[in-house]
Structure 1
Amino acid sequence: MTKKEENDTLSKKVVPQPFGTAERARRNLNAKLSNPLAGFSHTELQNQGRTFAELHEMGDESDICAFELGAVLAQSPERYENVAGLTNKEKAVLRQEFTHRWSQPWKMYVVITLCSLSATVQGMDQTVVNGAQIFYKHQFGIGDESSRSAWLVGLVNSAPYLCCAFISCWLTVPFNHWFGRRGTIFIACCLSAITCLWQAFVSTWWAMFVARFMLGFGIGPKSATVPVYAAETAPPSIRGALVMQWHVWTAFGIMVGYASDLIFYNVESSTIIGLNWRCMMASAMFPALVVCCFVFACPESPHWYMRQKQYYRAYKSICTLRNHKIQAARDLYYMHTLLEAENSMKLGRNKLLELIKVPRNRRAMLASQIVMFMQQFCGVNVILYYSSEIFLEAKFSPPAALAASLGWGLINWLLSIPAIYTIDTFGRRSLLLLTFPLMSMAMLFTGFSFWIPESSHHARLACIALGTYLFGVVYSPGEGPVPFTYTAEVYPLYVRSYGMALGTATMEHLLGMQAGVLLDGG
C-alpha cells in the first residue's frame, strides 16, 4: 500500500458519522442557549440592535446608536478593540471593566449593600437560637436527658427549614412573578422581622415551634431570590463575586448571631422570665428592618422588567447599574436575545419538566443539586446549631462555650472574604476538590478529640476547639460560597428561578434534617 493510499484509509476511519436528528437538535439547542449571537456579522448585529431599540422606543438617537454597538459587543464583550465605531472614551470604559472591575456606579453598590444585609438577616436567623436554646429548653421543660426532649429541641430548631423545604421555597417563583425581586425581598424581610419578635414572646415549646415555622416563610424566598437578584443586576466581570457575597455576609450574620448570644447572656429581670434568651431571639429582627427601609432605593432587576415586557424600564434600570449606556445596551440586548432564543425553541411551557427534559438544564440541575446537597451534608450545621452544646459537652463553662462559638463564627466570616477573589480566580470546581478532603480531616480530628481523657482537660478543650476552627478555615472559602454562586449562575434565564428554588429547597430540607438531630438525640 502506498503512502497516499494509507493516508486515505486512515482519513476514512476517522471521519465522524453524521449525528442523528435528535443529537443534532440537542447540540443546536445547547449552542444557541450558550451564545445566541454566534455566527452573525457585525453589520447584521448593528441592524438587529437598531431594530430592537426603535421597536421598543428606547430613547433618542444616542440610545439607538448605543444599541447598535451594544449588539455587536454582546457577541464577544472581550473583543471590544475590534468593534468599529467605538470612541476612545467608550473603549476606555470597556477596558476598565477588565482592569478595574470594582469601579462601579453608586447604585451598584447600593444593590451590593442590600444583598449583604439580606444575607446578614439570614445568618442571624440561623444562629441566635444556638445560645438561646441553652436557656429556653429548660424553661419549656425539654432540657432533660431524655430522648423525647432531645427530639423536641431538634424539632424546634429545624422548624424554619421544614417550612422552607416543603412550602416557602416553592413560593419563590410566584412571589417573584407577582412582586418582582425587590418586592419578594421586602416581604421576606418583613416576615423575618415579625417572627423574630414573635419568638421572643413565646412561653411553650410548641409556640416556639410555630413561630420558628413561620420564620421559614421569610427565610425560603429570600435565600432563593437574593442570589438571583445579584446575578441579574451585576456586570459579568463581578457577577461571581457579587453572588458569592451571599455567603460572605451570611457568615457575617452567623458571627453577629453568636455575638448577640454572648452580649445578652447576663441580661436578667425580676419580672420577665428568660429575658436573656428572649433578647437573643429578638435581636435578629434589626437587620431585617434595615433592609425593609431601603430595599426600594435599589433598581428592580432588568430581567424581571424584560419578563414583564417593560423594555424601556429595563433599560433605565440597567443604565443606573452600569458606568456607560453602551454597557447597559450590550447587557440588555444579550439578555433579550437569550429570552428570544428560549421562546423561539418553545421552551418555558412547563419549566419544571424542562429542568429534566432539556439536556443543558438537566446537567445544570444535577450539578447544582450535588453541590447544594454536599453543602449541608458536610456537617457544618452541627457546628452552626449546636456549637454551644458541643463545647458544653467538652466541659466548657456556658460563657466560654458561647465565646468559643463566636470564635468559630469570626473565623467563618473572615475566611470567606478571600473567596470573593478566589472563586473567580481558581474556579468553583477547583475550590471544591481542594477543600472537601481537608474538611473531612478536620471533622475526623474533632471527633477523635472527644476521646482524649478528661484528666488531660486543657489538651482536650484545645483539640476540640482547634478541630472545629480548622473546619471553618477550610469550609469558608470552599463549600460554603460555591453552591449558591454556582446555582444562581448555571441555569438559563427562563428557568433560573425554578432551579434556584429547587436548589434552595434541597438545601433547606437537609438543613432541617440536620438541625433536627441533637448531639445525642439522633
Structure 2
Amino acid sequence: MSKPLSHQQESYEPDITSSSSRHSSVTSMLDDETRESTHEAVRLFLGQHDLVPWSAIFYKASLILQGDSPPEEIENITHDELQALHNEVQRKWHQPKALYFTILVCSIAAIEQGWAQTGMNGANLTFPKAFGIGSNSSHDNFLVGLINSGNYLSAGLLGAWLSDPINNRLGRRGAIFVGAMFCLLANFGAALSANWVQLLLFRIALGIGLGINASTVSVFAAECAPERIRGGLAVSWQLWTAFGIFVGFVANAAAYNLKSEAWRWQLGGPAIPTIPLLLTVYLCPESPPFMIKHSSRYDRAFHSLCKLRNTELQAAKEVYSAFLQRRARFKLPPTEVSLLTKVLELFTIPRIRRATAAAYVVQLSQQLCGINIISFYSSTVRMTYCLRGSIGPKVDSLRCSDTICAFTPQIFSDAGFSTYGALLASCVFGFVNCLGAFPAIWTMDTWGRRSLLLMTLPLMAITMFAAGLSFRIPSESPAHLGVLATLIYLFCALYSPGMGPVPSTYCAEVFPLSHRVVGMSFAVATANFWATILSLTFPRILTALKSEGAFTLYAMLNVLAVVLVFLFLPETRLKTLDELDEVFSVPSRVFMQYQLTEYLPYIVRRYVLRKEGTSLKELTLEREYHELDQEEDHTEDI
C-alpha cells in the first residue's frame, strides 16, 4: 500500500458509507488500534457516546465489521437484519421512505435552480423596454448583459464561498434553508423591481442563494445515500434542475399573453418551489457525517441513520465504522481550521489537490462541451418584442447568460416562427433535457461517471459539428429548421445523462469530509466563472465566426473535453472513502501514463481490433505508487 501521509496530509476526515468491501480495512483498524477485546472496545465507545441502550445492536455490528465469520453465524442476529444486509446488494433501491423524502426535498431545491435560470430567459423579451434599456446601444446591451449575468457572478464570488461557514454554523439543512430564503426574497423582489438597479441587486441576491444551495444540496444528498446508489440519487440534482428548466419554459409561454408585464411573472415564478422547500427541509434527518465531523455526536448520527437505513444494525455498522476510521486516522485531536486555510489546502495537500484538479476539469468540460452555445445562441435574441408578438428588426445583443439548456426562440424565429411558437419549441427542448436525465439514475452506478462522459462526449462532438454544417442548408428550405432542430435535440439527449449530471455528482463525492463543502464551493465557483466568461465572449465569437463557425468551434472543444476527462478523471463508482483516498493518492503523472500506455491500447485492442482475450492491467498502488517518494509527489503532480 502507499506510504503514510504526514499529519498535515491526514487532516481530512472519514465518511460514513456502508459497504462490505470495507470489512478488511476495518478489521486491520480493530487489530492495530485496539488492544482490548472487541466487546470491551464497543463498550467503551457506547459509554462515551450515550449509546449504551443499543449495546446488542453495536456488538453485532462490530462482529460484521470484523469479518471473522459470516453474518448468519452471529449470535442473536434476526432474519430481518440478515435480509437487510442481503438487500444492500440484491435490492439496493429498497430504502426507507425517509431517505427518498430527503432526496425529494433536495429535488425541490433543484427545481428552483432550473426555473430561476429560464425565468430571465423569457423576461428578456420585455423587461429591457420596461426599464428603458431596450435599445441596441452599447450602454443598454452592457446593462442587459450585466443583469443577466448578475446571479452567476454573485453565485461564483459570494454564494459558493459563503456555503462553507454557513454549513459549519447551521448544518446542511440550515444552509439549504438560508439559500432558499435568499431565493424567495430575491425572486419576489425582482418581480416587484421599479428600475434596472433594483433588478440587478435582486439578481445578485438570487445568485447568493443559488450558490449556497448548489454547493450544499448535492453534498447533503450524497452524505445521506448508501454508497451503492449514491450516484443514482445524486443525479436527482441535474434531473430536477432539468425539470425546473422545463417548467420555466412552460411558465414563460404561459405568461406570454400578459404583454408588457410578463417579465414580472416570469421572474417571480421561481419563488414558488422555495415555499415547500422552506417548509420541509427541517423534516429531513440531518447529515450523519456532518454531525460526526462538527460535534463528534455519534449518538445523533446513529439516530439520523436509523431513519435513513432499513435497520438499526445497518445504522450501527456505519456509525461504528466511521468511529474506527476516525480514530485510526487521527493521532491527535483534529482542530477546526479557517476557511482560508481550507481553500489553500485544496491546492497544497496532494490527495485533495488531485480531487480539486479533477473537479475543475469536469466543471470546465461541462462549460466547453457546447451546451452553452445553444444557450447563448438562442439567447442572442435577434429580434425586438412588440405587443402584437411580431418579429421586429434584428439586433445583435446578449439577452441572457443561462448556462444549462436555456434554449429559446432565435433559430425558430429566424425560420419564420412567431415568438410564441418559438417559446413552445423551447418547451420541447426543456422536455428532452428533463427526459434524457432519467437514464443516468441507473447508469451512474453501473457504467460509472467517467465512462458516461467518455461515451457521450464524442457523440456530442459529432452532433455539434453536424449542427454547424446544417447552416449550409438554405434558410428558406424546410429542411434547414428540421435538421438543425433535430440535431440540437439529439445533442441535448446526449448531454442530459452524461455531461449534465456527472459534474455535480462527481464533485460532491471526491473531496474528503473536512473539505467537501469548500471543495464543492470551488467547483460551483468554477462553473459560474466560466459561464460568465462564455456569456461575455460569445457575442464576439458569433460575430467573428458566424453560426456555422461557432458550432464547429464548440465541436472541437468537445473533443478537448474528451481528452481532459480521459487524462484527469479517475472513476469513483462504488468507491468508499478509503478507496477514494487510494484513487487520489496516485500522482496525476502516473495516472496519465497509465491511461496512455495501458488503458488506451486496451481500448484499441478490445473495441477497435476486436481481439478476444484482451485484458487490462489494473493500476494499483503497490505496482506504481509505492516506489514514489512524497517529495516527488509534491514536485511532479498537478
Which band: TM-score by shorter chain? Answer: 0.7 to 0.9
- Note closer, same or farther for the CA distance 1:407–1:40 as it changes in structure 2 (3 Å cut): same
CA contact (8 A) 1:419 1:481 kept: yes
How many percent of aligned residue pairs carry the same amino acid? 36
Determine if the alignment matches structure 1 residue 37 to structure 2 residue 26. yes
SS for the counterpart of 1:500 is helix
Deviation at 1:360, TM superposition (A): 1.8
SS for the counterpart of 1:284 is helix
* Structure 2: distance between partners of 1:518 and 1:354: 34
What is the number of residues matched between the two proteins? 492
> What do the CA deviations read for 1:226-249 (whole angstroms, capped 9, x no partner)?
111111111222211111111111
Quick one: which of 484, 497, 509 aligns to 2:529? Answer: 509
* Structure 2: distance between partners of 1:119 and 1:416: 13
Quick one: which of 300, 305, 320 aligns to 1:318? Answer: 305
Deviation at 1:519, TM superposition (A): 4.3
**Structure-2 residue corresponding to 1:7:** none
Deviation at 1:334, TM superposition (A): 2.5
> What do the CA deviations read for 1:149-202 (whole angstroms, capped 9, x no partner)?
433322211111100111111101100011111111111111101111111122
Quick one: which of 423, 440, 452 aligns to 1:402? Answer: 423
CA contact (8 A) 1:173 1:501 kept: yes
- Note closer, same or farther for the CA distance 1:49–1:494 as it changes in structure 2 (3 Å cut): farther
Deviation at 1:101, TM superposition (A): 1.7
CA contact (8 A) 1:46 1:72 kept: no
- Using the size of structure 1 for normalisation, the TM-score is 0.87
CA contact (8 A) 1:117 1:291 kept: yes
**Structure-1 residue corresponding to 2:183:** 192
CA contact (8 A) 1:159 1:512 kept: no
- Note closer, same or farther for the CA distance 1:127–1:382 as it changes in structure 2 (3 Å cut): farther
* Structure 2: distance between partners of 1:115 and 1:314: 20
**Which sits farther off after the overlay, 337-346 or 375-384?**
337-346
Q: Where do 5+ consecutive residues of structure 2 fail to align?
A: 16-21, 380-406, 543-638
Determine if the alignment matches structure 1 residue 420 to structure 2 residue 462. no
- Note closer, same or farther for the CA distance 1:382–1:260 as it changes in structure 2 (3 Å cut): farther
SS for the counterpart of 1:24 is coil
> What do the CA deviations read for 1:62-119 (whole angstroms, capped 9, x no partner)?
x122222323445679x96476333333111111122222222221121011011111
Q: Determine which structure has the larger helix proportion and give its number.
A: 1
> What do the CA deviations read for 1:447-502 (whole angstroms, capped 9, x no partner)?
3333322221x222112211221111100000111111111111111211111111
CA contact (8 A) 2:110 2:238 kept: yes
Deviation at 1:404, TM superposition (A): 1.4
- Note closer, same or farther for the CA distance 1:514–1:45 as it changes in structure 2 (3 Å cut): farther
* Structure 1: distance between partners of 2:70 and 2:355: 30
- Note closer, same or farther for the CA distance 1:206–1:520 as it changes in structure 2 (3 Å cut): farther
Runs of 4+ in 1 over 4 A off after TM superposition: 27-36, 40-47, 74-77, 79-83, 345-349, 516-522
SS for the counterpart of 2:100 is helix
Deviation at 1:384, TM superposition (A): 4.0
Task: Report the AA paired with residue 37 of structure 1.
Answer: V
Quick one: which of 441, 466, 476 aligns to 2:486? Answer: 466
- Note closer, same or farther for the CA distance 1:341–1:167 as it changes in structure 2 (3 Å cut): farther
- Note closer, same or farther for the CA distance 1:417–1:108 as it changes in structure 2 (3 Å cut): same
- Note closer, same or farther for the CA distance 1:160–1:409 as it changes in structure 2 (3 Å cut): same
Deviation at 1:345, TM superposition (A): 6.7
SS for the counterpart of 2:51 is coil
**Which sits farther off after the overlay, 48-57 or 318-327?**
48-57
* Structure 2: distance between partners of 1:209 and 1:517: 21
Matches within 5 A, 1:338-349: 338-344=325-331, 349=337
Task: Report the AA paired with residue 469 of structure 1.
Answer: Y
Quick one: which of 497, 513, 527 aligns to 1:477? Answer: 497
Q: Where do 5+ consecutive residues of structure 1 fail to align?
A: 1-18, 269-273
**Which sits farther off after the overlay, 172-181 or 350-359?**
350-359
Task: Report the AA paired with residue 240 of structure 1.
Answer: G
RMSD over aligned CA atoms reads 2.8
CA contact (8 A) 2:150 2:200 kept: yes
**Which sits farther off after the overlay, 511-520 or 154-163?**
511-520
- Note closer, same or farther for the CA distance 1:157–1:56 as it changes in structure 2 (3 Å cut): same
Quick one: which of 79, 82, 107 aligns to 1:91? Answer: 82
Determine if the alignment matches structure 1 residue 455 to structure 2 residue 446. no
* Structure 2: distance between partners of 1:245 and 1:397: 34
**Structure-2 residue corresponding to 1:443:** 464
* Structure 1: distance between partners of 2:523 and 2:310: 33
CA contact (8 A) 2:415 2:476 kept: no
